[in-house]
Amino acid sequence: RRAAFVAMRDLPPVTKDGTRIELMVNAGLRDDVAALEATNADGIGLFRTEFQFLVSATLPQREKQQRLYRDVMEAAGDRPVIFRTVDIGGDKALPYLRNDDEIEEENPAMGWRAMRLALERDGLLKAQARALLEAAAGRTLHVMFPMISEPWEFDAAHAIFEQQRQLLVERRKMLPTAIRYGAMLEVPALAEVLDILLPKLDFLSIGTNDLTQFLFAADRAHPKLAERYDWLSLAILRFIQRIVRACEGASVPVGVCGEMGGRTLEAMALVGLGVKRLSITPASVGPVKAMIRSVDLPGLRDHVTAMVRDMTADPRASLLAFAEASGI
Ligand code: PEP
Ligand code: MG
């Protein structure tokens, strides 16, 4: 089987009926970029910029950030890299970035993290924006904001990037040729205001790790709960279906970048719901591509749509039956 996946490296992720699915990889370190060559993925769909902050004893200086981003883009060549601005705080607390009041957080995942922290300590976000904009000089910059709960948070982060871009214009510095702005949908509340959010976006990325924990109120790191809440549950599938339909309606590309997309059956469900971009762990690229190349998309869409509507069988069993019939 492994040899088959290696042979699959140079084949495109295209369904039997000819629909191209974008298969990207998740990364966070400079060395992770090697996975692009190894897997022949379409790009990096999630670059977790906080890794550099987490392994550093002090706040990484702007020049250091810029060097990393430029190295990553250079190594990726023509393939796009979607940089996610820092998702720190909460359970990824940093000694050099404490909250002022020394508040002990009982629920750090729902606490002062990601955009909540970055918009308050906006010096941090300004420096990161500058580093990304300068690193992407002469290329397209793809950037997305984590843990957006309300549209104004996207506006505020977007404004910081545009201010920094303006600064570079005034200083006659070389700019990115284009900037694509995205938001992550990880907080369920955001799904209720997509009509307001989507017109502002160039793309949306669903983070199923956090989304699942918030949808079920179930800690993603809790060993007892991991077994209990299945990604192939009706609530999650319907939730994602709603988001995908809203994005289709607004012509905003939508992808999934949580771990759900790296599991073959779950990825099949997502493709059946209309997701056309998956960003996954490199080891999953082979198996997921094999699945994509084996399915007939109209048939899969019908199957998944009926399954999610009628729920006559357990989704896992129903998808397994479809996979077997497709020879997966
Ligand atoms: C997610 O929450 O699904 C996600 C991709 O982000 P992270 O795992 O870094 O929280
Ligand atoms: Mg997340």
Please work out whether the CB of residue 210 comes within 6 Å of at least one atom of ligand 1. Answer: yes
Residue 287 has pLDDT above 80, yes or no: yes
pLDDT of amino acid 204:
99
pLDDT band at 151 (very low <50, low <70, confident <90, very high): very high
Please work out whether the CB of residue 87 comes within 6 Å of at least one atom of ligand 1. Answer: yes
pLDDT of amino acid 5:
64
Residue 101 has pLDDT above 80, yes or no: no
pLDDT of amino acid 291:
97
Residue 2 has pLDDT above 70, yes or no: no
Which of the listed residues 52, 115, 206, 257 should we mutate to test ligand 1's pocket, taking the one with most ligand atoms within 8 A of CB?
257
Nearest CA, atom 4, ligand 1: 207
How far from each other are the two terminal CA atoms of the chain, in whole angstroms? 12
Residue 312 has pLDDT above 80, yes or no: no
- Between the CA of 59 and the centroid of ligand 1 the distance, in Å, is 22
pLDDT band at 96 (very low <50, low <70, confident <90, very high): confident
Rounded to two decimals, the pTM is 0.96
Provide the Cα torsion 6, 8, 12, 14; round to 10°: -140
**Phi (first) and psi of residue 129, to 5 degrees:** -60, -45
Residue 145 has pLDDT above 80, yes or no: yes
- Between the CA of 7 and the centroid of ligand 1 the distance, in Å, is 30
Nearest CA, atom 6, ligand 1: 207
pLDDT tens digits along 40-86: 999 999 999 999 999 999 999 999 999 999 999 999 999 999 999 99
pLDDT of amino acid 99:
62
CA 274/CA 285 separation, integer angstroms = 19
Please work out whether the CB of residue 266 comes within 6 Å of at least one atom of ligand 1. Answer: no
Provide the mean pLDDT of the chain. Answer: 94
pLDDT of amino acid 317:
93
- Between the CA of 79 and the centroid of ligand 1 the distance, in Å, is 22
Please work out whether the CB of residue 186 comes within 6 Å of at least one atom of ligand 1. Answer: yes
Under DSSP, the state recorded for 20 is: B
Please work out whether the CB of residue 209 comes within 6 Å of at least one atom of ligand 1. Answer: yes
Nearest CA, atom 9, ligand 1: 48
CA 81/CA 78 separation, integer angstroms = 9
Q: Would you tell me the crossing angle of helices 208-215 and 234-250 to the nearest 10 degrees?
A: 120
CA 224, 212, 45: angle at the middle one, nearest 5?
Answer: 120
pLDDT tens digits along 198-244: 999 999 999 999 999 999 998 888 888 877 778 999 999 999 999 99
pLDDT band at 320 (very low <50, low <70, confident <90, very high): very high
Which of the listed residues 25, 44, 48, 279 should we mutate to test ligand 1's pocket, taking the one with most ligand atoms within 8 A of CB?
48
- Between the CA of 28 and the centroid of ligand 1 the distance, in Å, is 12
Please work out whether the CB of residue 50 comes within 6 Å of at least one atom of ligand 1. Answer: no
> Percent of the chain scored above 90 by pLDDT?
83
- Between the CA of 133 and the centroid of ligand 2 the distance, in Å, is 23
Please work out whether the CB of residue 48 comes within 6 Å of at least one atom of ligand 1. Answer: yes
Q: Which of 89-98, 143-152, 173-182, 261-270 has the lowest mean pLDDT?
A: 89-98
